[in-house]
Structure 1
Amino acid sequence: MLTIIWAGGQPGKISELRRMSQEEWELLRNDIPTNVKTFIDCDEDTILISHPDFSEKELVEISNFDSLQFSNGLIPVITKDEKGLVLMQAFSNLESLELSQKESLGIYFSRSRNQLWKKGDTSGHIQKLKRIFAPKDGSFVVYEVEQEGAACHEGYYSCFFREQDKSGNKNLVPEIPFLGK
């Protein structure tokens, strides 16, 4: 499954998040206008579609997690910096959300390792959590963070450091700095 994020620019405002199969994405990708930018994350399982005309989804700051819609105990989390640049997408469970809020740090649930992980535990590139948002339907969460160092395990400030053109070529985005691992 892929996670597709629509944003009104990069940096910009979050417009939508949807999970879909690779086949569904390929069909959708063919219908995307040429003036829309498509960014691929480092693991190639999240796609950020960006255009300034995308409408902003109303997000509200949350302090409890009662209204969130978990699927198999998990919820997608979009992490962005205070300027609105989307840094990464991961998943959280209730425990990681509560720990993030308590410790004011970006803490997630690793599906591959089946355990909690605190961003920066091994790299030292931490995320100081400023606020937690969610849309009214509770379908995903947005962490607003102060990113210290690289958000991406490959050493880039954002995991969305490559733009994919219509022919499928992936090119580095010069505005996303490489900070080292």
Structure 2
Amino acid sequence: MLTIIWAGGQPGKISELRRMTQAEWGLLRNDLPTNVKTYIDCDEDTILISHPDFSEKELLDISNFDGLKFSDGLVPVITKDENGLFLMQAFSNLESLELSQKESMGIYFSRSRNQLWRKGDTSGHIQKLKRILSPKDGSFVVYEVEQEGAACHEGYYSCFFREQDRSGTKNLVPEIPFLGK
């Protein structure tokens, strides 16, 4: 499954988040306006579609997690820095959300390791959590963080360091610095 994020720019405002299969994305991709920018994350399982005309989804600060829509115990989390730059997309369970809130740190649930994942535990590249937001429908969560070092395990400040053109070619985004692992 892919996570598709629609946004009004990079940095930008979130318009929508949807989960879909690779086949569904292949069909949708053909119908996108030619002037959108498409960024691919490091693991190639999240796609950020950027266009300034996308409307902004209203996000609210949340202090409890009762209204969130968990699927198999998880909710998608989009992480942005304080300037609005999209850094990464991951998942959280209730425990990681509560710990993030309590410790003011970016804490997630690693699906591949089937355990909690504190961003920066091994790399030292931590996320100081400033705000937790969600749309009214509770379909996803946004962590607004102060990023220290690279958000991406490949050493880039953001996981969205490649732009994919219409032909499928992926090019580095020069505005996203490589900071080292």
Q: TM-score, normalised by structure 2?
A: 1.00
In the alignment, which residue of structure 1 is the partner of 2:77?
Answer: 77
Quick one: distance in 2 between partners of 1:53 and 1:175? 21
Shift of 1:34: 1.2
Shift of 1:130: 0.1
Quick one: distance in 1 between partners of 2:14 and 2:49? 10
Alignment of 1:92-131 (within 5 A): 92-131=92-131
The answer to whether 1:138 aligns with 2:138 is yes
Corresponding residue SS for 2:163: strand
Corresponding residue SS for 1:95: helix
Shift of 1:33: 1.0
Give RMSD over aligned pairs: 0.3
In the alignment, which residue of structure 2 is the partner of 1:57?
Answer: 57
Moved over 2 A (4+): none
Q: Give the partner amino acid of 1:125.
A: H
Q: TM-score, normalised by structure 1?
A: 1.00
The answer to whether 1:165 aligns with 2:144 is no
Unaligned runs of 5+ in 2: none
Deviations 1:94-135 (A, max 9, x none): 000000000000000000000000000000000000000000
The answer to whether 1:151 aligns with 2:123 is no
Quick one: distance in 1 between partners of 2:32 and 2:165? 11
In the alignment, which residue of structure 1 is the partner of 2:175?
Answer: 175
Fraction of identical pairs, as percent? 90
Unaligned runs of 5+ in 1: none
Shift of 1:71: 0.3
**How many residues align structurally?**
181
